[in-house]
Amino acid sequence: MRRYIAPEVKEMVVKLALVHKYRYKKFKRITGVSMWSIKGLKALYLRTGEVVQKRVVDGRPCTLNGFEASVSESRSRY
């Protein structure tokens, strides 16, 4: 089950993982964050330098049907 983890807690987890080199069992006891969440946070931080992944575009992705796509293409030509 997913649960919300505050950005402050995420920053603390990354700091404990990378600076203090705590083990996963100690993390779970201190923060209540699962091992899988800790691994994901560490990977995200090492990849992007952020503990919260920012959305590129807000809202849900839009899928166009054939008519909408043809109208969109014709408008882009002008």
Could you tell me the residue range of the domain that residue 13 belongs to? 1-53
Highest mean predicted confidence (pLDDT) among 2-6, 8-12, 60-64:
8-12
CATH number at residue 25: 1.10.10
**Assigned domain for 73 exists:** no
Between 41 and 31, residue with greater pLDDT: 41
* pLDDT at residue 72, as a whole number: 58
**Amino acid residing at 45:** Y
HSE of 35 in the Cβ direction (CA atoms, 13 Å)? 4
Q: Give how many domains the chain has, as a whole number.
A: 1
Are 37 and 10 contacting, i.e. CB atoms less than 8 angstroms apart?
A: no
Residue 5 burial (CB < 10 Å; 0-12/13-18/19+)? middle
Element (H, E) at 78: none
- pTM value is 0.61
